[in-house]
Structure 1
Amino acid sequence: MTWVLTLVGAALILFILRDVFHTLWHPTRHGGLSRLVMRSVWRLSAHHGERRRPAGLAGPTGMMAVVAAWSLTVAVGWGLLYWPRMPEDFSYASGLAPGEHAGPVDALYVSLVTLATLGLGDIAPTSGWLRVLAPLEALVGFALLSATVAWILGIYPALARRRALALRLSHVRRAQMDDGALDSAGGAALLDGLASALSTVTVDFEQYPESYYFYDIDEHTSLPAQLDHAVGLADRAARARHPDVRLSASVLRTALQDLSEVLDERFTRTGADPGRVFAAYAADHGRS
């Protein structure tokens, strides 16, 4: 029984460490548990048309749920390593009866205290390898806290870049630029700027896939609501007489294609052309 609990505990710890690695430090992958939690929160966020306002909480709530799942699973994993070895391999503060504090709840308590780096010391390991294991858990707890802070500090600038692009597209749409104004050096510069911003957002979706689950209530800062205008702008520019505008239109189309491939591979899974991918993206965010 001791070895079974030890193996299960070690497996839980390694599973979470792998998930944290792929979610936070491997930009081309996404951890399985974090992806499952984020998608589940998104689907449970009651998003249906104009009544889907609770979806605005899906992103922050999902991130909190992921961090909670990581922390709790790691604590349970280390608790399973401690439990079979209690009370023999632990020292107890005066006033605590070892036989009365050797259950699974006590093991989880020791694990949580160690993971949080509180170091209360009322129950502490005494055997050689456990005395090494406990500080390792504290290091993992500290690394998890630091990684969570870095995750939050990274994802919100990515959201700001996405919203800035959407607002820029909204500005262009509301300006009602005619074909004559678009067919100029200024039109080419505008298209180049949009293509550059789209490339940045594409990288953000690859590095921070969790940003997909952040819903923007304001239509002007909602990228799903504005992408169809970018597609139309590229189509119009492709028919321009100015060679620089046609070149910029080609670059913008390529940037839109790259973004649609990332969205479709990771989220929408339609296997369709960019227009349909963006339509599915908009529908998933209540913008159809």
Structure 2
Amino acid sequence: MAWLSMAAGAVMVLFVLRDVFHTLWHPTRHGGLSRLIMMSLWRLSARLGARRRPAGLAGPLGMVAVVAVWAGTVAVGWGLVYWPHMPERFSYSERLVPGEHAGPVDALYVSLVTLATLGLGDIAPTSGWLRVLAPVEALVGFVLLSATVAWILGVYPALARRRALALRLSHVRRSRATAEALDSDGGAALLDALASALSVTTVDFMQYAESYYFYDGDENTSLPRQLGHAADLARQAGRARHPDVRLSASVMRTALEDLAAVLDARFLRTGGTPEQVFAAYGADHGRAA
């Protein structure tokens, strides 16, 4: 029974560490726990309907939930490791009766105190390998804290870049640039800048997949609302006489296709054309593309 509890605890801790690794430092489809929580909250908010949907909260609440699950799972896992060895291999303060503080709740308490690096000391391991294991848990707690900060510092700049791209596309749309204005060196430079921003956004969706589950409520900063105009702009510029403009339009179309491929492979799974993917992207974010 003791080995079963310890094995289960070790598996839980390793599972969370693996998920943290794949979420932050090696983003792949294998980081399933964080993606599952974010996606579940996103779909739940979508089912509430447009009026009851907590706009803008699904992403932040999802991140809070992921961090809470990470920390909670690690705490329970380490508690399962400690529990079989209580009270024999732990020392207790004078006001505590060891036999009365050797249950699963007490093991979880020791784990939480160690994970949070509080070091209260009223219950502490005395066995050699447990005394080594406790500081390791404290290091894991520090890793989780650092991971949370790194996640926030990565996701929110990615959101800012995405919204800046949408706002830039909105500027072009509202300026009502004519075909003659686009058919120039300035038009080629504009298309190059937009293609570059689209490429950065594509990388952001691959590196910080959780950023997809953040809702952009304002029309001018909502990328799902502006991608249709980006596609129209690339088609219009593709008919220009200026060779540099046609080249830039081709690069921009390729950037849009790459973005659609990432959105479809990781989130939407429509198997359709870029136009269909962008329409599904807009619908998933509560807007018509």
TM range (shorter): over 0.9
TM-score relative to the length of structure 1: 0.98
Deviation at 1:46, TM superposition (A): 3.9
Letter in 1 for 2:177: M
SS at match of 1:55: coil
Residue of structure 1 in register with 2:219 after alignment: 219
Instruction: State how 1:3-152 maps to structure 2 within 5 Å.
Output: 3-29=3-29, 31-46=31-46, 50-51=50-51, 53-152=53-152
Superposed CA deviations along residues 56-112 of structure 1, whole A, max 9, x for unmatched, are 100000000000000000000000000011000100001100000000000000000
Judging changes above 3 Å, is the alpha-carbon distance between structure 1 residues 275 and 185 closer, same or farther for their aligned structure 2 residues?
same
Letter in 2 for 1:144: L
Deviates more, 1:133-142 or 1:44-53: 44-53
**Could you tell me whether the CA contact under 8 Å between 1:90 and 1:126 is conserved in 2?**
yes
**Could you tell me whether the CA contact under 8 Å between 2:114 and 2:137 is conserved in 1?**
yes
Judging changes above 3 Å, is the alpha-carbon distance between structure 1 residues 35 and 107 closer, same or farther for their aligned structure 2 residues?
same
Residue of structure 2 in register with 1:263 after alignment: 263
Identical counterparts, % of pairs: 78
Judging changes above 3 Å, is the alpha-carbon distance between structure 1 residues 52 and 196 closer, same or farther for their aligned structure 2 residues?
farther
Q: Structure 1 runs of 4+ off > 2 angstroms? A: 27-30, 46-53
**Could you tell me whether the CA contact under 8 Å between 2:238 and 2:249 is conserved in 1?**
yes
TM-score relative to the length of structure 2: 0.97
Measured in 2, the distance between the counterparts of 1:240 and 1:115 equals 62
Unaligned runs of 5+ in 2: none
Deviation at 1:201, TM superposition (A): 0.6
Letter in 2 for 1:181: A
Backbone CA RMSD of aligned residues: 1.1
Deviation at 1:47, TM superposition (A): 5.5
**Could you tell me whether the CA contact under 8 Å between 1:47 and 1:286 is conserved in 2?**
no
Deviation at 1:27, TM superposition (A): 3.2
Superposed CA deviations along residues 120-144 of structure 1, whole A, max 9, x for unmatched, are 0100001111001000000000111
Judging changes above 3 Å, is the alpha-carbon distance between structure 1 residues 92 and 49 closer, same or farther for their aligned structure 2 residues?
closer
Deviation at 1:48, TM superposition (A): 6.5
**Could you tell me whether the CA contact under 8 Å between 2:115 and 2:138 is conserved in 1?**
yes
Residue of structure 2 in register with 1:286 after alignment: 286
Matched pairs, number: 288
